[in-house]
Structure 1
Amino acid sequence: MNHKLTFRLATENDLVTIIKLLADDALGALRENIELPLSENYTRAFTRISNDANQELTVGEINGEIVGTFHLTFIQYLTHQGSLRAQIEAVRVHSAYRGQGIGTKLFTYAIDRAREKGCNMVQLTTDKKRPKAIQFYETLGFVATHEGMKLKLGY
């Protein structure tokens, strides 16, 4: 990759591109709806994220084109002596740019943001149906220390 990857907070104008990135894999295609106009649910969620100082929806660009995204949430805990941790979710790289180190750069940037905010830990969840993603996270130093569980409430 010869072009510089730059990062910025997402704007509402980026929403369609971000949703398309989220839908651009086997599991995301089952969950997201990229029909235009986008569902108001996406706009409401974006507004809540953007207005919350503890959340950052970030895009990575090359020459003005969005090639990746992630959502970082800063969570205050009482455990670990009242520490702050970062939760990284919704990491996606545009399919045309995969395998070029962009995912690693997205994570490096996200981890640096967590350090800047004073977090003592970065955590993530990933679907067990994504073994390649799990291997990738392990190469970045993430360790599967807990078993995650979810209770779907519908939508």
Structure 2
Amino acid sequence: MRKVYVALSGLLLLAIVAQFYFAAVGAFDKPQEDGSFALHSMTGTMVIPVLSLLAIVAAAVARAPGRLIGLTALPLGLLVVQVLIIVLGRALNDSTGNTTPASLAILGLHAVNGMAMMGTAGLVLRRARALMTAPDGAAAAGEAPLRDSAARTP
């Protein structure tokens, strides 16, 4: 099950990287239409949440330490923040629906939060890979495997 956890963590990171690509495609589409951000929206509302939930379940079944399970859940929490950023940013638009300086300041956080999601997903993948190679006893105790036995201290 640890290999499944690593695979799902990798797919989650890949989906988040694809989100940035899809956002750029939408931003550079001329003329911009309702469908310009369709791939970005679909990936953010369907693919990433499903992969996040599956990775959380896989982490639990693989008997990952509680902190790692929590870290695995963090991208899903940050995805909720993504939606809240959009809702709040749009609420600050003017009466005609055009952005205001305040709405742009909030909406700009969408990309920053996306980078936090990507960094978290990368960390989850790295730790999932370490869990996969850890002896069962070390993983159950929540210990991080050391690559160099000389680095251990008594």
Q: Which has the larger radius of gyration?
A: 2
Which one scores higher on RCO, CA 8 angstroms, separation ≥ 6? 2
Q: Whose helix proportion is higher, 1 or 2?
A: 2
Q: Whose strand proportion is higher, 1 or 2?
A: 1
Q: Which TM-score tier does this pair reach, normalised by the shorter chain?
A: under 0.3
Query: So what's the TM-score if we normalise by structure 1?
Result: 0.26
Query: So what's the TM-score if we normalise by structure 2?
Result: 0.26
